[in-house]
Every structure is written in structure tokens, then in C-alpha cells.
Amino acid sequence: MLEIRNLHASVNGKEILKGINLTIKDGEVHALMGQNGAGKSTLSNVLVGNPAYEITEGTVLLNGKDLLAMKPEERAHEGVFMSFQHPVEIPGVSMVNFMRAAVNAKRKYHGEEPLSASDFLKLMREKRKIVELDNKLANRSVNEGFSGGEKKRNEIFQMAMLEPTFAILDETDSGLDVDALRIVAEGFNKLRTPQTSAMVITHYQRLLDYLKPDIVHVLLNGKIVKTAGPELAQEIETRGFDWIKEEIGL
Amino acid sequence: MTGGQKYISQNAEGALLISIPKNVQVEQPIRVTIERQPGEPLEEDRHICIEMGESASACIILDDKIKEADEPTKTKQEILVTAGENSKLQLYEVEETHFEHERKSQITVNQKAYSNVTLLSLTLLSGHTENTTTVHLNGEGAETNLLGGVIADGHQHVENHTLIDHAVPNCQSNELYKYVLDQDAVGVFEGRILVQKGAQKSVSQETNANLVSTKTARMFTQPALEIYADDVKCNHGATVGQLDEKALFYMQQRGIPYDEARMLLKFAFVGEVLDQIPLEAFRERLRHLVEKRICGELPSCGACKLCK
Ligand SMILES: Nc1ncnc2c1ncn2[C@@H]1O[C@H](COP(=O)(O)OP(=O)(O)OP(=O)(O)O)[C@@H](O)[C@H]1O
Ligand SMILES: [Mg+2]
């Protein structure tokens, strides 16, 4: 369970998050919507410990543990994963070495032996299938020269490898063609367990048709201003955000 | 003893002579390991002469492994290479000495027509190193590949001065030097490409890229093109950068600890030089050595921060 209480954060001295309160229970999928620049990616980055963002107030508990006190890698080991809105290219670091380092670091954290080379490659093969990631991509440097859609698919492949219990998808649908979106979304659903929860950021209903969120939030101007069921996403798809702004008197 | 060892001899003055006769293809790499035995002088004057006969081919590995002694050690080295017509030479020089070692090395290569020479200078560990490499492309159709990699930390000081001399038309040169500097290390790269008058259709690419991962490490770089012919294709460039913070964070998000992420990035950076080594088994061995060096696991390394 993730509990965010009164979270304030700024970047370069400018306050972006102005008191976020949000609880995501095990097994739940929450959608987070809101206009460009509202602070959705900022919230995601703060949760995964990106040092570019400064937390000025508030607490975040993950399964009762103080998330904000952990290093980014510890958060990952504790089950937090973020599918980046803009995945980074890392020339010269092969996907295999990258994933091996990630998987084995997590195993070490949990007191497990590193995977043997053959077991690891077998795991890569299995997980590639879930999102139909081309073997050629898996043999290249991390995201280097990947198309926009390939990068997003690669994010969910990494999620499959790391089996997080709390996943943040930051506009994973953007850049994916219709078929790729279906494959990636269905892949995500296959990876879900009763313990997995997720925060899904998107501007469009299409991804949510697959993921079937339990709850939809609207983030505006650094605050969650509206929370409702999946029907809220439908309404935003047709009506935009202006009516919500009016409702709250913005 | 591998196949090529029989082509090595030593003259009365102690100079090492490696001479590959005309048309001989030495299949196995010729490996020369340089070590200092206890009790031997702390200063060494080394002369190596490599002669490649016409259409001969060989791969030579020089492993400079002078170990730490009670007092600082010193090497002065001179290597003279003659590459005969149509000959093919890969010469790999790996320095893995120690922080109290001073090395001054001078390599001069004379290439005849259609010869193909690949030179690698890899400084894994050293104290104060000054390498000067001069390649004369004296015969048409000659090609040279100059590769360099430097991994330095502590108070290491590593200089590479190179000159590629396109003396005749239709020659090709590629040069790639990469430095990874940490802590208080200082790196110097000076790379001059000279295209002489009349050396038309010369093709040359020179790149020096550097990763400076602390505020106290310093890199001085000066690539230079000097062209006296008008029909040539020459490019050169130098960059000095830091570790990519976004990439580091991306790796951490996946659970890779910060220090390990840094190492992966450094290794990837130097890896580009190693990728260009044609000899696969040797490339893998170097990868392993570089990885160990970057992780601070080299037996001779005792001062970098990961060893402490
Ligand atoms: N590193 C940064 N430096 C300066 N400003 C930043 C930085 N990161 C975010 N911001 C600003 O913070 C605000 C919130 O940005 P954020 O990326 O969180 O928006 P978002 O809700 O994810 O938008 P989008 O839907 O376009 O992805 C924006 O005004 C943005 O310009
Ligand atoms: Mg965003």
C-alpha cells in the first residue's frame, strides 16, 4: 500500500506539487489525469527519488516504510517501478548487462543468489514474449536508436523482468501504435498480481479501456482536485478539463 | 611457446627485435610481457624494433606490467616499426604498472604502400605516462588505425601525443582516443594530423572523447589538422563531458546501485575503443581487464576509492 500525505515538491525553486494526498491499496490501479504541466511527471519522479526534485513537505509510506528516506535503488528493490515518459538512451550499455545488473541487485537486496547466465537469458526470453519485444532490440544498447514506441515497449519489458509491486506508468501509451498499445497493455495485465498496484498517467481513454482503473484522479496545478470512478476518464475524454476547473472555482 | 615466438630475438645491446619475414602470416598473437624482477635496476631503457616484411601479417601484444617496488620505477621506451608493402600489423600495448611508475614511450611507425597497421595504447594503470606516437604513411594505399584508451584516477598523469603524417596520396587514417578520469587525475591529448602537399585523396578521422567524472580531474585536449593538399576528407573533434546524470538515475530506478551505475557508464565509454579491436579473444580479455580496473579490482590497484 502506498500512502502519500501532504506532499509538496519543487524544482529549481518553483513549487510544483502543492499538497498531494493519495492512497493506493494493493491490487488497485489508479489513473492520474490532468493537463500538460499539471505536475503528474513531477509526482512520479518524486516517488522514485529523482534528485532533480526537492521535497519541501509531506510523507510517503510504502507498506508502512518511509519511502522518501530510501535511495532510488532501494525503492526499486522494495518493488517500485516507473515506466518513464521519456526513457533515456544509454549507448554502450547492452540491454543484457543492464538487466542483469538490475535483476541481480534486487536479488542481492533480498538475500538471494545472483542468477546464472543461462537462467538469466531464459528469463529474458520468457519476459520478452509477454510484450513481444524483438530479440534484436534486446541485444542492443539500452534504448539506443529505439523508436518512440519501441522505447515504451522496452519499459514494460523491464517491468516484466523486475516484477514490481507498485508500478508507475507515465504516458506509456504515447508513441505506441494501436496494435502495440494492445500488446503492451495486455502484457501489463498479465503481470498483475493481487499485490500489484499501479498509478497510470495518461491523456487518453484507450489505455484505460485495457487497464480498467479502479479510481481516476485529476491533478491540476499541483493538487488532486477530483477523484471518482472510471467514468471520470470517459467524461474527460469528451469534455476536457474546463468543467472541472469551473467546479472547483479555478 | 606460441607460433610467433621464434621471430623474436635480442641483440647485444639488449634491444628486442621482432621480425616477420616476407609473406609469413603469423596466426597466433606474439605476446611479450615486460616485468621487473626484484633486484633489477629501477630504471629501464627499452628498445623494441618491429619489422614486417612484404605481405607479412602478425599481431603483437606488449604487456607492460612493471610491479610496485620499494622505490619509484622508471621506463624509457622506444619502439620502431617498419611495415613493409601490403603487410598487416596489429600492435597492442597495454600498460598496467603502478602509481609510482614513470614511463616515457616513443613509437615511430613507417608504413609502406598498402600496409595496414592498427595500434592500440591502453593505459590501465600508471603513475606518470607520456606516450608519443608518430605514424608516417609513406606509401600509397597505406591505412592506419590509432586507438587509445586511458583509465586514470588518484594522482595519475597520462599524456598521449600523436602525429599521423600523410606524406603521399590515397592513404587513410582513423584515430580514436578515449579517457576516463576520476579523482585528481590529469589527462593530456595532443593529436596532430598532417596532410602534406600533394597527398591528395587523404582520408582522416580523428576523435578524442573524454569523461571527467570529478571536479578535480582535468583534461587538456588539442586535436589539430594541418592540411597542405586540397582534395582531402579530414575530420577531427574533441569532447569533454561528465557522466550522464539522467542515465545514472534511470539505472538507479531499475535497482542498480549508484556506484555500479557509474562503473557501467564508464565501461561503456571506453568500450567503444575496445569494440574496434579485430582480435576477438584479446578484445574480451581487455574488456575484462578494463572492467576490473573500473571496479577497482586490479591487484595492483590499492588507492582508488573503490579499493578502500
Ligand atoms: N527539471 C525541471 N526544471 C524546470 N521546470 C520543470 C522541471 N521539471 C518540471 N518542471 C515544470 O514543472 C511543471 C510540471 O511538469 P510535469 O512534467 O510534472 O507535468 P506533467 O503533468 O507531467 O505534464 P505532461 O502532461 O505534459 O507530461 C511544468 O510547468 C514543468 O515545466
Ligand atoms: Mg508528464
For the segment A186-199, what is each residue's pLDDT rounded down to a tens digit? 999 999 999 999 99
User: Looking at the DSSP assignment, which residues form a beta bridge with residue A18?
Assistant: A8
Q: Is the CB of A46 under 6 A from ligand 1?
A: no
Of A177, A119, A86, A201, the residue nearest A127 (C-alpha):
A119
What local confidence, expressed as pLDDT, does residue B178 receive? 98
Is residue B147 pLDDT above 70, yes or no? Answer: yes
Is residue B308 pLDDT above 70, yes or no? Answer: no
Distance CA A101, CA A107 (A): 10
What does the DSSP assignment read for chain B? --GGGGGEEE-TT--EEEEEPTT-B--SPEEEEE---TTS-SEEEEEEEEEEPTT-EEEEEEEE-PPP-SS-EEEEEEEEEEE-TT-EEEEEEEEE--TTEEEEEEEEEEE-TT-EEEEEEEEEE-SEEEEEEEEEE-STT-EEEEEEEEEE-TT-EEEEEEEEEE-SSS-EEEEEEEEEE-TT-EEEEEEEEEE-TT-TT-EEEEEEEEEE-SSS-EEEEEEEEEE--SS-EEEEEEEEE---HHHHHHHHHTT--HHHHHHHHHHHHHHHHHTT-S-HHHHHHHHHHHHHHHTT--TT--SSTTT-
Q: What atom of ligand 1 comes closest to residue A45's alpha carbon?
A: 18
The size of the A-B interface in CB pairs under 8 A is 80
Model confidence band, residue B5 (pLDDT cutoffs 50, 70, 90): confident
Model confidence band, residue B299 (pLDDT cutoffs 50, 70, 90): very low
Dihedral sign, CA of A131, A137, A143, A145?
negative
Is residue B277 pLDDT above 50, yes or no? Answer: yes
Chain B residues closer than 8 Å to A90 by CB: 244, 247, 250-251, 265, 268
Q: What is the pLDDT of residues B259-270, one digit of tens each?
A: 999 999 999 999
What local confidence, expressed as pLDDT, does residue A139 receive? 86
Is residue B307 pLDDT above 50, yes or no? Answer: no
Q: Mean pLDDT for chain B?
A: 93
What local confidence, expressed as pLDDT, does residue A199 receive? 98
Chain A residues closer than 8 Å to B268 by CB: 90-93, 141
- Looking at residues A113-127, what average pLDDT do you find? 95
* Contact yes or no for B36/B68 (Cβ under 8 A): no
- Looking at residues A216-242, what average pLDDT do you find? 95
What local confidence, expressed as pLDDT, does residue B297 receive? 61
The answer to whether the CB atoms of B264 and A73 lie below 8 A apart is no
Q: Mean pLDDT for chain A?
A: 95
Is residue A184 pLDDT above 60, yes or no? Answer: yes
What local confidence, expressed as pLDDT, does residue B303 receive? 37
Q: Is the CB of A51 under 6 A from ligand 1?
A: no
Is residue B245 pLDDT above 90, yes or no? Answer: yes
User: Looking at the DSSP assignment, which residues form a beta bridge with residue B90?
Assistant: B59, B118
Is residue A133 pLDDT above 80, yes or no? Answer: yes
Distance CA B16, CA B47 (A): 6
For domain A2-248, the question of CATH label 3.40.50.300 is answered with yes
Of B126, B112, B37, the residue nearest B77 (C-alpha):
B126
Is residue A249 pLDDT above 90, yes or no? Answer: no
Return the domain boundaries, chain A: 2-248
More confident residue, B146 or A248: B146
Distance CA A139, CA B221 (A): 34
Q: Give me the percent of chain B exceeding a pLDDT of 90.
A: 88
* Contact yes or no for A101/B260 (Cβ under 8 A): yes
- pTM (global) more than 0.95: no
